[in-house]
Amino acid sequence: MIRVLGRTLALALALAVLPGCCWLWKPSGPETLVVVVPSRHDGHVGAVVVAKGEERQVLDSAYATARVKSRGHVHRTSLSAEEVQRKFAQASAALPRKSMAFTLHFVLANQTLTPESSARLDQVLAEAANWEAAEIDVVGHTDRMGTPENNDALSLKRAEHVRRLLIDKGAKPEAVTAIGMGERQPVIETADGEAEAANRRVEVIVR
């Protein structure tokens, strides 16, 4: 009788303890860590909104950090610059270079580059040489003299002319794209029909 009681008791005890022990043993599941850092390019600190279900937390200061597990709330904390560097060194080193933009100008209503702009073509190629796989976008723009349609055509013609010059200097043809933006993206806003040297340009982006 006592034996049976003892056995029952042992079984009951085991059943009571088992869920507890297994809950402790259960693997903790995925965890996310997010940290906002100052921009390597200009030091600017942006913001990331961390959402989990209905909960939202905004990280908007340097090294503000959040940890998010499957269960529970978003946990806010802060990492040191050294900890971030240690954790993310390899990912950070793999980040591509920032794209570089060069602006080239033309002699009025002509396809001839100004002398300074001709020299800038070499800078474009020097920058492209820094990349393992550079793409070069050549984007033509005009001022507001003439019709929008003519300006679309002229801007593309200028872009294609610059593309050709870059290829002649050694750029890979498949890596260089010419695009015509017409008069739609002026640097300086003007009335229609007005000549504006600053808007007569080709932008070259190495990325």
Partner 1 sequence: MRQLRKMSVLLMLLVLAPAAAADDVGQVKTSKGGVVIVRDGQELAAPAGTPVQQSDRILTRADGSVGIAFRDNSLLSLGPDSSLDISLFSFGARQAADALEATLNRGTLSAVSGKIVTKSPEAMRIHTPTSILGVRGTEFFVEVTNANADR
Q: Which residues bind partner 1 (CB under 8 A)?
A: 27-41, 44-52, 59-60, 66, 68-70, 74, 84, 87-99, 131-133, 135, 207
- Nearest Cα residue to 51 out of 34, 28, 38: 34
Q: How far is the CB of 155 from partner 1 (least distance, A)?
A: 17
Closer residue to partner 1, CB minimum distance, 49 or 191: 49
Q: How far is the CB of 89 from partner 1 (least distance, A)?
A: 8
Closer residue to partner 1, CB minimum distance, 21 or 62: 62
Report the chain's terminal Cα–Cα distance, integer Å: 84
- Nearest Cα residue to 184 out of 138, 159, 152: 152
Q: How far is the CB of 42 from partner 1 (least distance, A)?
A: 8
Structure tokens at 159: 């872009």
CA distances from 175 to 117, 132, 140, 201 (A): 21, 12, 17, 21
What is the identity of the amino acid at 154?
A: L
Closer residue to partner 1, CB minimum distance, 5 or 93: 93
Q: How far is the CB of 179 from partner 1 (least distance, A)?
A: 11
| Cα 38 to Cα 35: distance, rounded to the nearest angstrom | 10
Closer residue to partner 1, CB minimum distance, 12 or 51: 51
